[in-house]
Structure 1
């Protein structure tokens, strides 16, 4: 896992983004935030499972579907299955050790 600090790459609403194989963060202090890093590592695993490019296609497609459903960008983002899995499990620092492949599906 490679962490890159770049305050300009990320929009103002996000503290970080995973662009496989990198975790890009706005602020270097986030490197020490175990929960935040665990959330991003969950996204790394999701991307690997879906061979990276299909992950981005599914992520964007689901965001658009959720946006139509909720008419609210934050609510759409929070209800993407990939995000729901990451948010629900970010506090469990051993989650990735026990996580089954394609676990994001149960969050659809």
Structure 2
């Protein structure tokens, strides 16, 4: 389910997925198929990891990447969950053919 909220989506980002919702910063982003597909990939990742472990791993890996790269934006882009989503956001059929736990191949 897609919801619109400029307050939930952090500044500098267009969307965020918090199971089972996809929050977009503005209504016009609903038509952005690339962004929506990116967030759907995150939904699938969250489902595979039974939601809570996804968030724990996400934060842990972000902290490790932040220590490694020392810059927020670079650390964020190197999180395995984000790399999978960014690499495949333009492939509309990706979720149909995606193997389970595919984010592990990005570690």
Please indicate, yes or no, whether the TM-score normalized by the shorter chain is above 0.5. yes
Length-normalised TM-score, structure 1:
0.97
Runs of 4+ in 1 over 3 A off after TM superposition: none
**Structure 1: 5+ residue stretches without partners:** none
Task: Note the alpha carbon deviations across 1:16-54, whole angstroms, 9 max, x for none.
Answer: 100000000101111111111000000000000000000
Q: How does 1:26-37 map to 2 (within 5 A)?
A: 26-37=25-36
RMSD (Å), alpha carbons: 0.5
How far has the Cα of 1:105 moved from its partner? 0.4
Length-normalised TM-score, structure 2:
0.98
Secondary structure at 2:2 match in 1: strand
Report the count of equivalent residues: 107
**Structure 2: 5+ residue stretches without partners:** none
Secondary structure at 1:51 match in 2: coil
